[in-house]
Structure 1
Amino acid sequence: MSQTTNNPTKKLILSINTSNDFLDFDYIVAELTQADIDKIRKLSEVVKTAKQSIDSAVYRIKMFDHSVTTMKMDYDAEPDEDGKQPLVEPEYGRIDCCSISVSDDDFMWSFYPKHGDMSDLCETSSVPLAELDSFDAIDERE
């Protein structure tokens, strides 16, 4: 989805943390619309309410969300004008059980590689909710 003035999106390029060194992807790319941002904020409010009314040990709410795309670094290409290495779709980038996890102050995605096992859990870095205040992109590429 391209960014327009009528439908702005917030682009996230987040690194993936996993114990599996043999995955065919390095990052996820997500483009959040205003509706997505509103949903994340509402989920955060649910967590805050649950902490106050149910138990202070409540810390996250998690729901299925398959809106992310896995990508890998294209080391054959020249870095772009910002000095960032371009990304390409991986050959084996399919994922299962993708979910977004929202706390009272941040959010992140987790998933498993398709045909992987439960020890191959992948998680993105967490994003502070304050980052949703602008439509500036977040890009964790080095």
Structure 2
Amino acid sequence: MTWSEIVQNVASSVELPQGKKAKFEVWNEKQLKLFLDTAAHNQYYIAFELAAFTGMRQSEILALRRIDVDLNIRSISVRQIYTIAEVGHDFDDTKHDSSIRSIALFANTVQILQDHFEKQRIEKETNTFYTDSGLVVQTLHFF
């Protein structure tokens, strides 16, 4: 139309579909407690704990390194994200500078992280097949 090649844009008369946002339901305190109590002995419990009590995204939890956790000042530094690459997986910088942040930890989460790090230390010492990636969540294939 701009170049006078056609007289009318036939697509302009088509009504575009209106996308609807998916409803997002949040668990109440009782439901969250039930889930965490049930998952307490699951190897990925630490990921569930972090998701529930820090508000971190899945990609941030999967990329969280032990060096980004400071139990003394009870905080986590979000510095990178886990991404699925063409072949395997990868770690990238956060998409926005504002995504780089520190998150304060509850005392209970600090204790759970201490226990988790101790389990990782024991696993590393006793399992010859254990590969220490430096990540809080050692395996990347759980969500």
TM-score range with shorter-chain normalisation?
0.3 to 0.5
User: Which of 1 and 2 has higher RCO (CA within 8 Å, sep 6+)?
Assistant: 1
Structure with max Cα Rg: 2
TM-score (norm 2): 0.33
Higher share of residues assigned strand: 1
TM-score (norm 1): 0.33
Higher share of residues assigned helix: 2
